[in-house]
């Protein structure tokens, strides 16, 4: 999935030459995809909690794969944008249902490290998309459409495997020893508590910089740094590759630390510094170091911490919904970041300002998180007590013979 999403970035320059596009139009190709992706987050979460998480996950994945294949058939910009919009709707069914399934299936004490392991798939996918797209187009001299065909077919095959192998261990109700079905009490207002809202803002700020970089970094390396197109995919992939050990370490640390505020703020400050280093440094080696460190402590390292934080503050019956809203908040940035970065590059004549804006937003989000309630177990205790009161009131007790 993440490979499909990122095969576009390395070939943006080729598409620009083929179709005679401006930088703003190039940014629009990513923006329209993420607009649909973000719009689908909340509906997919609510639908998954109602009719089944695996059903929603697999059906959307098939649509995503078919849309990726059809993207390679598009004859021009308008058709490409329409197909990418539909493709984004398909991918939009993934995040909420997937993390709902994993959060229920995996013990609470391993939520951070398990989320990091899942996010490692994102890192591998992003890297694979960058490298494969660059390799097919610039080394093997294939048309840019070739990558869309290959990864689209693979996505459909993965969707079939998910439908056969993945089971949903929880679907809105739990069965007690009495045989009575008890639906967990739900309070939608719980999804918009202070902690939730602060986390939504932070994930927006974090993903803004990430998607700005993932969309424009290969193009920036080619046009501003003079890096050959065949190497841009490899260099850009340093960010997701280096994120794997960082995500695992901070995911593990998140499971050990109850109050995550200082850790999150520190990651935000370091991420901002790395966002500044990439455009500011004249040294190519120093820029590479900035990319690697950003991978270690950036968005992919922060995600497992925030996912664990959200799960600790939310009823399991609403996991698909809360993760849908969480990802919707983050993916709103993906709508604006590619276009705004391209627009600022046209207005100013260089792309550096986009990196600086990303760093400032990340610092703001990290600072705001300091005002969250840092003890997740308090919310868990309240949730448990509410469930116990509900059970005592509505669940009939078995009479002893």
Contact 166, 298 (CB under 8 A): no
- Cβ neighbourhood burial of 209 (10 Å; 0-12, 13-18, 19+): buried
In CATH, what number is assigned to the domain containing residue 324?
A: 1.20.1250.20
Whether 24 shows a pLDDT value over 50: the answer reads yes
67-75 mean pLDDT = 94
Contact 37, 334 (CB under 8 A): yes
Number of compact structural domains in the chain: 1
pLDDT given at position 365:
95
19 in a structural domain: yes
182 in a structural domain: no
pLDDT tier at 392, thresholds 50, 70, 90: low
pLDDT tier at 172, thresholds 50, 70, 90: very low
Domain that holds residue 208: 2-167+188-387
173 in a structural domain: no
66 in a structural domain: yes
pLDDT given at position 188:
76
pTM value > 0.85: no
86, 90, 132, 255, 270 from 237: Cα distances, Å: 26, 25, 11, 28, 20
15 in a structural domain: yes
pLDDT given at position 388:
52
401 in a structural domain: no
112 in a structural domain: yes
pLDDT tier at 396, thresholds 50, 70, 90: low
pLDDT given at position 171:
54
pLDDT tens digits, residue range 303-361?
Answer: 888 988 888 888 877 888 888 899 889 888 877 888 888 888 888 888 888 889 999 99
Contact 34, 331 (CB under 8 A): yes
323 in a structural domain: yes
Residues in the chain: 401
Q: What is the percentage of the chain residues whose pLDDT exceeds 90?
A: 28
Q: 247 or 359: which carries more pLDDT confidence? A: 359
47, 99, 198, 199, 202 from 191: Cα distances, Å: 16, 16, 11, 11, 15
């Amino acid at each position: 999935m993440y490979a499909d999403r990122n095969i576009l970035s390395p070939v943006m320059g080729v598409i620009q030459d083929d179709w005679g596009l401006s930088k703003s139009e190039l940014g629009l190709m990513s923006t329209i995809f993420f607009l649909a992706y973000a719009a689908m987050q909340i509906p997919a979460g609510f639908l998954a909690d109602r009719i089944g998480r695996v059903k929603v996950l697999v059906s959307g994945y098939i649509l995503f794969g078919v849309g990726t294949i059809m993207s390679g058939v598009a004859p021009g910009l308008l058709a490409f944008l329409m197909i990418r919009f539909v493709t984004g709707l398909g991918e939009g069914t993934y995040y909420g249902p997937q993390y709902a399934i994993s959060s229920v299936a995996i013990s609470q004490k391993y939520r951070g490290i398990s989320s990091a392991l899942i996010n490692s798939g994102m890192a591998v996918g992003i890297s694979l998309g960058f490298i494969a797209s660059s390799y097919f187009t610039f080394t093997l001299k294939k048309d840019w459409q070739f990558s869309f065909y290959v990864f689209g077919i693979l996505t459909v095959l993965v969707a079939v495997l998910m439908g056969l192998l993945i089971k949903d261990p929880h679907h809105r109700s739990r069965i007690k020893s009495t045989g009575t079905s008890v639906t967990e009490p739900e309070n939608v207002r719980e999804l918009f508590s202070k902690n939730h809202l602060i986390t939504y803002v932070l994930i927006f700020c974090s993903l803004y910089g990430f998607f700005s970089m993932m969309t424009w970094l290969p193009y920036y390396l080619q046009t501003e740094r003079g890096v050959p197109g065949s190497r841009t995919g490899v260099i850009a992939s340093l960010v997701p590759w280096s994120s794997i050990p960082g995500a695992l370490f901070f995911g593990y640390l998140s499971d050990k630390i109850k109050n995550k505020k200082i850790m999150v703020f520190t990651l935000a400050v370091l991420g901002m510094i790395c966002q500044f280093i990439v455009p500011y440094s004249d040294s190519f080696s120093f820029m590479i170091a900035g990319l690697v460190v950003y991978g270690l402590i950036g968005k992919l390292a922060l995600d497992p911490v925030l996912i664990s934080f959200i799960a600790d503050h939310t009823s399991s019956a609403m996991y698909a919904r809360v993760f849908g809203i969480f990802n919707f908040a983050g993916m709103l940035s993906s709508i604006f970041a590619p276009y705004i970065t391209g627009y600022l590059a046209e207005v100013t004549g260089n792309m550096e300002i986009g990196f600086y804006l990303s760093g400032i937003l990340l610092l703001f989000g990290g600072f705001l998180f300091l005002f969250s309630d840092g003890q997740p177990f308090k919310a868990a205790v309240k949730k448990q007590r509410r469930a116990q009161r509900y059970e005592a009131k509505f669940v009939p007790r078995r009479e002893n013979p």
